[in-house]
Structures are given as C-alpha cells and as structure tokens.
Chains A and B, each alone.
Chain A
Amino acid sequence: DVKVTQSSRYLVKRTGEKVFLECVQDMDHENMFWYRQDPGLGLRLIYFSYDVKMKEKGDIPEGYSVSREKKERFSLILESASTNQTSMYLCASSLAGGEGGNTIYFGEGSWLTVV
C-alpha cells in the first residue's frame, strides 16, 4: 500500500512563527504536492515538485515555500505564520509522466491553527 506520512497531525502556532510541515512517502514517487483544504473552498494546490530540488508554484503559493532535498521528503514552510493560514494541509504523491493520469495519494492531513 502507498503510504504518505505527515509528521504532525495537529499544530498550534503563534502569529509570526516559522512553521515546518513535513511529509514522507514510501513508494518512490517522483511527484509530490502540498494542498490546503478550507470549508467552502475545497482543495487548493500550494506547491508541487516533479523531482528533487525542483518546485513549481500552484494556485496559492503566497506566504509559503517548499523544500525537496530527498526524493521521499517534501516540506512545506510558512516563513511567518498568519491567522489566515489556519487550515488543514494535505501532502500527496504520485508517479510521474505517462499519457494516462497518475493517481495521487494523500496523507492524513495536518491541522494547523495560527493564533
């Protein structure tokens, strides 16, 4: 079974703190993603990565950065957390390329509250 593991399920951080959300996948997937999910807005893509040290902006990258130093690990960084970043964050991974779609598998999510 595909396993995408998010290190923290629940976090409470103060405004202005630097926050790291860590994600590890065990299926040797090339692609990794970070989404956030908010009521009424659905899932929105923050950043994704097609390879080690590569990153691409998604739909809502402002206020976030990412790091992918190893193939299995993708980190989301909030440089200076703000209350409007309170949300559920979902990490995901998939195989790369191919004509057909590649299934994206999700982790359990990290609930971040910024106070």
Chain B
Amino acid sequence: EDQVTQSPEALRLQEGESSSLNCSYTVSGLRGLFWYRQDPGKGPEFLFTLYSAGEEKEKERLKATLTKKESFLHITAPKPEDSATYLCAVQGGSQGNLIFGKGTKLSVKP
C-alpha cells in the first residue's frame, strides 16, 4: 500500500535557524514526489516536483532533495513568512492522483 509519513508533525524555529523536514514514502513505481505549502484556510500551493533519486530543486530559502525512500525539505535561514504547513505527496502507479502525508506545521518566530 502506498504510504507517506512526514516528520516532525510540528517544528518551531527562531528566525535564521536552519532545519529540515522529512518525508518518508513507500510507493509502487514512483512517478513524482511533490512538496506543497499550505497557509491556514487556503488550498495547497505547489512548490516542487522531484522525479528521481538524487534530484534537487531550490526556490529562495527552500531546497528539496530526494532519495529512494525519502525526501527532505531544507529551510535555510527561515523568516516568519515561511510559517505554514508543508505537505509532501507521492504520485505512483498508473493513476494521476496523489497520496499525501499529514504535513509538518512550521512556525518561525522573529
């Protein structure tokens, strides 16, 4: 059964304190791993897609990496505006739908 587990559930950082969020997955035939950002009361906003182990993508203070079993979202020198819930999802098999983790709620204090 396809499964996605994110850790930690919640993370509190001071502004400028770098850290990483983890996404472990099991899926038959990975087609893509996706990271989304979700602000309270809004829909998920697309950040990155990773397709194969070893791939990395960057956007501002965020960097996503992928291995055969997990993905990391590295946050460098975070700012309060980076506070949000970060969702990881995998797309596998022949279908186009996503299997989501439960998210990591990030709070960055000034």
Complex Cα distance A106/B42, Å? 9
Instruction: Say whether B91 contacts A90, CB under 8 Å.
Output: no
In the complex, identify which listed stretch (A13-21, A36-44, A66-74) lies at the interface while the others stay far away: A36-44
Chain B neighbourhood of A108, CB < 8 A: 42-43
In the complex, identify which listed stretch (B11-19, B75-83, B96-104) lies at the interface while the others stay far away: B96-104
> Interface size (B, Cβ < 8 Å)?
24
Complex Cα distance A99/B49, Å? 14
CB proximity of A111 to chain B, nearest CB, Å? 8
| Number of inter-chain CB pairs below 8 Å | 66
A45, A96, A103: most-surrounded residue (chain B CB, <10 A):
A103
Chain B neighbourhood of A45, CB < 8 A: 97-98
Instruction: Say whether A109 contacts B91, CB under 8 Å.
Output: no
* B34 CB contact (under 8 Å) in A58, A99, A104, A111: A104
Using known A-B contacts A33-B97, A101-B51, A102-B32, determine if residue A42 contacts B102 with beta carbons closer than 8 Å.
yes
* B97 CB contact (under 8 Å) in A41, A42, A48: A48
Chain A neighbourhood of B109, CB < 8 A: none
Interface assignment of A31: CB less than 8 Å from any CB of chain B: yes
CB proximity of A17 to chain B, nearest CB, Å? 24
Q: Interface code A25-61, partner B: CB below 8 Å = 1, 0 otherwise? A: 0000001010000001111110010100000101000
- What is A's interface to B at a CB cutoff of 8 Å? 4, 31, 33, 40-45, 48, 50, 56, 58, 90, 94, 96, 99-109, 111
- What is B's interface to A at a CB cutoff of 8 Å? 31-34, 36, 41-46, 49, 51, 87, 89, 91, 95-98, 100-103
* Ranked 10 nearest A-B pairs via Cβ: A101-B32, A106-B43, A101-B31, A42-B102, A101-B91, A43-B100, A109-B43, A106-B44, A108-B43, A31-B96
Q: Can you spell out 15 A-B residue pairs with CB atoms less than 8 angstroms apart?
A: A4-B43, A33-B97, A56-B95, A90-B43, A101-B32, A101-B34, A103-B34, A104-B46, A104-B89, A104-B97, A104-B98, A106-B43, A106-B44, A107-B43, A109-B42
